[in-house]
Structure 1
Amino acid sequence: MVGAATAIGLAQLGLSIAVVESRQPQAYDPDQPIDVRVSAISVASENLLARLGALDSLWQMRSVPYRGLETWEMDGFITQFAAQQLNMSHLGHIVENRLVQLALWQQFCQYDNLHCYCPAKVARLVRATNGIEVSLDNGQVLDARLLVGADGANSMVRQWAGIGVTGWDYRQACMLINIATEADEQDVTWQQFTPKGPRSLLPLPGKNASLVWYDDAHTIRDLMQLSNKQLKQAIDQHFPERLDRNFEVVERGSFPLTRRHAKQYHKDHLVILGDAAHTINPLAGQGVNLGFKDVDALIQVIAAAQQSEHHWWSKPVLQQYQRKRWFDNQLMMTGMDLFYAGFSNDLLPLKLVRNVGLKLANYNNPVKQQVLKYALGLQ
């Protein structure tokens, strides 16, 4: 998603772009089952997708708007955010990751200066006098003024550049469970904290929803081995009463929770963004939205360099990109870590303090509105 968005944004600036990808996204069919990998695309991310020409295409596929966010631990101590608090129609959309990527790929053909090499993989990277030489596994060689690494958490580009990372494993895993519900399509995403980790619901299109179960890695591994019927019984036992029990388990997947932050976002003729630069605890669903903010920032600094007739691939330009994104990414990652640590225990005094905090945070005031705007990427 992030790499495709970067490619279009830079192509719009008139640069010659090469996209290297091992496989293209699957074509859309409304009869396809909903993928377990979904994202809560914020309003700010929607605005970026609109500028890239992909939003209309995305809306022709499937998604669901969410208009409310609710978080609690103990009953009666809840924080609620609603779109109407900001006079907005919605806070964002829940969309399958592959459909976001597909909607972006559908725009590639609009640009004669964007060339897609797929299926292909990078076989070798070599520094040249004025850039980086990229050799593909099909024998082709590309000369790049700027190599953009948007190749995920295990970024080969980042490793080749010798950019180190800081971080740790949370010793937890996350399970994604798609369910078919009897209830009509929902528009509120909610999350209850427990000492073992949150239990969450994300609305999906139609009479469907995605349940998110955080727990220690061993528990998640055991849950993945259950039959659909057994998994439903486990959900009934561990999820809050807020969840309507009239549902069936359809699909599931899981992944470990890790925190990674690159020590820098650039080297000579090279820049990284998205998961290649940072992976975050998914508590607030901010991962891809942070990646899209990276994309927006990179486009801005390169466009400004072009207008001032500076070398858009130069170190000062890439430093501007890092300054725009470093603090914001670090702030969001630290905030999620504080939430994770603050709710990962059952000490009564701390439990009372944090629940009173959630209760107080529910009062509508300018501070709450600013927090919501920040979470939506609107400031």
Structure 2
Amino acid sequence: MTQAFDIVVIGAGMVGAALATGLGQDGFKVAVVDRSPAPAFDPDSAPDIRVSALSAGSERYLQGLGAWHPILAMRATPYQRLSVWDETRHPLSHLLPRTLTEVEFDAASLKTSHLGHIVENSVTQQALWQTADAEPSVRVLAGHGVATLEPQPDSITVTLDDGRTLNAQLVIGADGAQSRVRDMAGIGVNRNQYDQQAMVISVRYQGPVEDITWQGFYPTGPRAFLPLHSAGAAHPGESWASLVWYDAPDELARLKGLSDEALMQEIQQAFPSELPQLTHIEARASFPIAHQHAKHYFSGRVVLAGDSAHTINPLAGQGVNLGFQDAQCLQAMLKEARRANVDLADPQWLSQYEHQRRPANRRMMMTMDLFYHLFSNRTPPLHLLRNLGLGAARALPFARNQVARYAMGIDDQLPAVLSRLTDRIPGLRQL
């Protein structure tokens, strides 16, 4: 027996679950399909190795969905400051000491209580599953994948791996960077693989929860610190953090093969002196880095959102924030299509969604590539240029705050100076 819905969302990660919740709240009949079971949360467990820096804009969106309070009731760590600096040592370094080129963004200068929250992906996902389950018009089908998509003139049929069939006007592909839905719809991608990979390490350190997240830039890539919650009574005086180490694949493979004690020693030697004293390594994982952009955001009765449509260099943790912006925009367009009493797959409305989101996503992709090209080298002129740029940012708080407001999701326009620079990056105009 075929079950009828308005929309089928494939993928119940953070973006897919948010879309299902928002569409359900708008009165759409939604099925959300995911291969994984419902996420679980244990308050006594170590943190998930996958974390995101949720911006103020994402926080507001999650509040509107009813997911923010459950997130705070589980685990979320606010940060008030963000600091970046260049750690590359070069004969030109003496011209501009680090104290003059370190840039710190702080909540006080932006007249806000915090810049964002570091949240485990599983915590955000679980809160959104709870909000989706709470909507009477949303049905979560966990533990199942999609076998086929069969478009008809006025609908599309989704066949699951257990043989069940779902019928809807529209399918939303929110099933990640390796999207099967995107492939089934015949939508290609432009992809650029970076030479670096990133290793994420969950650690405990001696000291209270920090209120700052920072990145030191090295020729091999940045090394970053993201604060998490207190380690609790089981480990008095200690806190959790997530570290990110960018480097060549061979070097990260060597590091992953070390014992916890040896890796801890390497981290303490390789990271900036700002890193607190580590006491324990809980988990480690590495992954390749690429930016990827779908050639189209929709085809027929299939539309893409989040990582299915675009992935970026995770340099500033903006990926999920862009995905949430996709979700808000797509939800608004579908609401307008229903109000106009037209097919939810009407190209007029899906084109407006792509017209709004593609340039915004492209701007952020190019901004991350600007930092990648500018910092991941030892070329003397670029070394001087980036230090002069950081020094200028330190000396010009208005420009610095413009960048911060853009990253936080308060302003949706890229600052003019960054916009001009990204337009000069070779090979990105086709994205």
Superposition TM-score, scaled by structure 2 size: 0.86
Q: Kindly provide the amino acid, as one letter, of the partner of residue 335 in structure 1.
A: T
Deviates more, 1:144-153 or 1:350-359: 350-359
Inter-partner Cα distance in structure 1 for 2:340 and 2:164: 34
Does structure 1 residue 68 correspond to structure 2 residue 95? no
Aligned to 2:384, the other structure's residue is in SS state helix
Give the distance between the partners of 1:7 and 1:268, measured in 2 at CA.
20
1:223 is matched with which residue? 255
Alignment correspondent of 1:368: 400
For 1:266, the aligned partner's letter is F
Q: Could you tell me whether the CA contact under 8 Å between 1:197 and 1:214 is conserved in 2?
A: yes
Contact 2:190 2:295 in 1 (8 A): yes
Q: Which amino acid aligns with 1:268?
A: G
Name the residue aligned to 1:32. Answer: 45
Q: Is 1:177–1:251's contact at 8 Å kept on the other side of the alignment?
A: yes
Partner of residue 339 from structure 1, selected from 371, 374, 377:
371
CA deviation after TM superposition for structure 1 residue 110, in Å: 2.0
Residues of 2 paired with 1:30 and 1:286: CA distance? 26
How far does residue 53 in structure 1 lie from its aligned partner after superposition?
Answer: 0.8
Confirm whether residue 261 of structure 1 aligns to residue 274 of structure 2: no
1:312 aligns to 2:312 (yes or no)? no
Q: Is the 8 Å Cα contact of residues 169 and 343 (structure 2) preserved in structure 1?
A: no
Relative to structure 1, is the Cα distance of residues 332 and 141 closer, same or farther in structure 2, using a 3 angstrom cutoff?
Answer: same
- Residue of structure 2 in register with 1:138 after alignment: 162
Unaligned runs of 5+ in 2: 1-13, 88-97, 231-238, 412-431
Distance 1:33 1:25, change over 3 A: farther
Q: Which residue of 2 aligns with 1:153?
A: 177
Give yes or no for the alignment of 1:292 onto 2:341: no
- 1:132·1:269 contact (CA, 8 Å) conserved in 2? yes
Indicate whether 1:323 and 2:346 are aligned: no
Alignment-mate amino acid for residue 92 of structure 1: G
Counterpart of 2:292 in structure 1: which amino acid?
A: R
Q: Within 5 Å, give how 1:269-288 maps onto structure 2.
A: 269-288=301-320
Residue equivalent to 2:209: 185
- Cα deviation digits, residues 326-348 of structure 1 (max 9, x gap): 00100100111111011111122
Deviates more, 1:214-223 or 1:243-252: 243-252
- Cα distance in 2 for residues equivalent to 1:335 and 1:162: 28
Give the SS at the match of 1:171.
strand
Letter in 2 for 1:61: M
What is the letter of the counterpart of residue 14 of structure 1?
G
Superimposed CA distance per residue, residues 189-217 of structure 1 (whole angstroms, 9 cap, x where no aligned partner): 00000000001100011111111000011
User: Could you tell me which amino acid in structure 2 is paired with residue 262 of structure 1?
Assistant: A
Alignment of 1:202-217 (within 5 A): 202-206=226-230, 207-217=239-249
Matched, 1:232 2:232: no
Which consecutive aligned stretches of 4+ in structure 1 deviate over 4 angstroms post-superposition?
Answer: none
* 1:364 Cα deviation from its structure 2 partner: 4.6
CA drift of 1:246 comes to 4.2
CA distance in 2, matches of 1:375, 1:136: 39
Tell me the distance in 2 between the aligned counterparts of 1:255 and 1:167. Answer: 16
Q: Which of 269, 275, 279 is residue 243 of structure 1 equivalent to?
A: 275
Q: Distance in 2 between matches of 1:109 and 1:348?
A: 56
Instruction: Please give the alpha-carbon distance, in whole angstroms, between the structure 1 residues aligned to 2:163 and 2:376.
Output: 51
Question: Is contact 2:133-2:140 (8 Å) kept?
Answer: no
- Write the distance in 2 (CA, Å) between the matches of 1:309 and 1:137: 33
- Aligned match of 2:66: 53
Could you tell me how far 1:324 is from its partner in structure 2? 1.1
Asked whether the equivalents of residues 172 and 214 of structure 1 are also in contact (C-alpha less than 8 Å), the reply is yes
Question: Deviation string for 1:242-278 (max 9, x for gaps)?
Answer: 1123432221111111111001101111100100001
Contact 2:38 2:142 (8 Å CA) reproduced: no
| Percent of matched pairs sharing the same residue | 44
For residues 59-98 of structure 1, the C-alpha deviation after alignment (integer angstroms, 9 at most, x for no partner) is 1101100111110014221111111121100111101001
Contact map agreement 1:25 1:98 (CA 8 A) in 2: no
Question: Contact conserved, 1:269 with 1:315, CA < 8 A, in 2?
Answer: no
CA distance, structure 2, for counterparts of residue 65 and residue 309 of structure 1: 43
- In the other structure, the counterpart of 2:150 is 126
Structure 1 CA distance for aligned equivalents of residues 209 and 270 of structure 2: 23
Closer, same or farther: CA 83–373 of 1 in aligned 2, 3 Å: same
1:320, 1:60 → 2: CA distance? 37
Aligned partners of 1:72 and 1:366: how far apart in 2? 19
Q: Distance in 2 between matches of 1:298 and 1:162?
A: 20
Q: SS where residue 395 of structure 2 aligns? A: coil
Number of matched residues? 379
Conserved in 2, the CA contact under 8 Å of 1:181 and 1:248? yes
In the superposition, the TM-score normalised over structure 1's length comes to 0.97
The one of 78, 82, 87 aligned to 2:106: 82
